[in-house]
Amino acid sequence: MGKKSKKLCFKNPAWSKIQLLLIVTLFFSLLFNATFVFAHDLSISAGYGFALFNPESKPYRLRYTKGLYDFYHFSLARENRINGRFYLVAEPFLAYQARPHEGIDLGFGLSGKYYITKNFYMNLGVGIAYTTYGFKEQGTHLPFIIQAGIGYRGKRFFIEDRFKHYSNGGLSRPNMSINANIILLGMYI
């Protein structure tokens, strides 16, 4: 009776994180696969991102603002027309962080896209990512994402300017802003 058994349950913090990651991955995988069945357009894009609108004064000085923070973004997106000019976009992505230290972000975003005119659009979305870098300013490797952008679409090609905000949603401390601007070039296939 003196032996303590280790149970795999939500009381174990490491197991809780693994379970949460598996549930989120399964949910977004199912959602993304559903969009493949009903989607209108498939696109690929590549872009360059850099730090923007990050607090620079103490106590909010972020470690990476002492040097250049930049990354390269690659994504695959599926658009599904919901109503008239409004589309639902599912977008898994991979980002390679070049500076101040190398790292990789792997994530998924879900956004609404609204065509203001035939060619100009704006979008707003949310997502989640796993980052190998593990920003000290976030206290986690699994930040949430809020993003917004504007873009222009020709027949097969598009260009977009997107603002991305990383946050841990108050689940961990510290929870300082990690903000970036991304310029994307892409094409519909």
Radius of gyration over every alpha carbon of the chain, rounded to an integer in angstroms: 19
Q: For 52-61, how does the pLDDT look when each residue is reduced to its tens digit (9 = 90+)?
A: 777 653 433 4
Q: What is the pLDDT of residue 41?
A: 85
Spatial contact of 118 and 104, defined as CB atoms under 8 Å apart: no
The fold adopted by the segment(s) 13-188 is: Porin (2.40.160)
| Structure tokens that stand for 185 in this block | 């070039």
- At 39, is the pLDDT very low, low, confident or very high (cuts 50, 70, 90)? low
Distance separating alpha carbons of residues 125 and 116, to the nearest angstrom? 17
Please state, in angstroms and rounded to a whole number, the distance separating the CA atoms of residues 136 and 77: 30
pLDDT tens, 73-123?
999 999 999 999 999 999 999 999 887 778 888 999 999 999 999 999 999
Q: Are 159 and 126 in contact (CB under 8 A)?
A: no
- Residue 64 scores a pLDDT above 80: no
Mean pLDDT of 20-49: 70
pTM: 0.73
Kindly state the DSSP code that residue 140 receives in the 8-state scheme.
Answer: S
What is residue 19's predicted lDDT score, i.e. its pLDDT? 60
* Tens-place pLDDT, residues 113-159: 999 999 999 999 999 998 887 666 667 788 889 999 999 999 899 99
Q: Which residues contact 33 (CB under 8 A, 6 or more apart)?
A: none
Burial class (CB in 10 A: 0-12, 13-18, 19+), 62: buried
Q: What is the predicted pLDDT for the residue at 9?
A: 43
Could you give phi then psi for residue 18, rounded to 5 degrees?
Answer: -65, -45
**96 DSSP β-pair partners:** 72, 104
